[in-house]
Amino acid sequence: MESNNIELITRMVIQAINQNEKKGDGFMVPIGVSARHIHLTQEHVEALFGPGYQLTKKKELMGGQFASNETVTIVGLKLRAIENVRILGPVRKASQVEVSATDAIKLGMNVPVRESGDVAGSAPIAIVGPKGAVYLKEGCIVAMRHIHMSPKDAQAAGVKDGDIVSVKADNERGTIFNQVKIRVDDSFTLEMHIDTDEANAAKIATGTTVTIIK
């Protein structure tokens, strides 16, 4: 069975269970492990890949986003680099690089934990593509863990956009994630996003289910 079909079945089962749960504690959410990636403006896409260049789709993601076929190299202040960092589309109004805490150590940088889009005063980073390079004075963050929800899911869970909750993973590590931000939008599919550091430490993989405990 293809992984996409497995993910779809998992979501359907969770939805059925959640419909029978009371609001609040006990609402189940599937995990999506987010590897390092980059969001770019069209200007920066062209600076890295050439005039008029358009990102090409590799895989559809939720909310109209997609993983592109294009990858770049990111370079820290001490000229330490990480290659093959994937670009997510479509293009944005501001460029942003999302890494894990381990990536930050490898790059030799102090990178703050931030919500996506909150890049003011964040870490600087250089991005190198096949046709050029871009230097961001700010824009490199470790993404704050968060849960994407539709309004219907938020109502069922008894939460609203911007709420901060705790989430429990019932496995041999028995991990509780605090400071998890709820993000609600009509385009969102129910999923909690954590980075590779968090997933490895808690022994969690994409598709694992966790529970909101508030």
Tokens 């490895």, residue located: 200
| H or E element at residue 81 | strand 81-89
Judge if 55 and 112 occupy the same domain: yes
Judge if 199 and 109 occupy the same domain: no
Sign of CA dihedral 117, 37, 105, 47: negative
Residue 187, both tokens: 């385009």
Judge if 193 and 159 occupy the same domain: yes
Judge if 90 and 18 occupy the same domain: no
Question: What's the CA gap between 204 and 146, in Å, rounded?
Answer: 15
Judge if 134 and 176 occupy the same domain: no
pLDDT in tens, 164-188: 999 999 999 999 999 999 999 998 9
Strand 209-212 relative to strand 164-168, pairing: antiparallel
Judge if 117 and 167 occupy the same domain: no
Q: Which domain holds residue 196?
A: 3-33+145-212
Q: Which of 143, 162, 179 is the last residue of a domain?
A: 143
Count of other CB atoms within 10 angstroms of residue 103: 23
pLDDT in tens, 133-173: 999 999 999 999 999 999 999 999 999 999 999 999 999 99
CATH label of the domain that carries residue 186:
2.40.40.20
Total tally of structural domains belonging to the chain: 2
Question: What's the CA gap between 12 and 28, in Å, rounded?
Answer: 12
Judge if 136 and 153 occupy the same domain: no
Judge if 135 and 51 occupy the same domain: yes
Q: Which of 120, 143, 166 is the last residue of a domain?
A: 143
pLDDT in tens, 93-138: 999 999 999 999 999 999 999 999 999 999 999 999 999 999 999 9
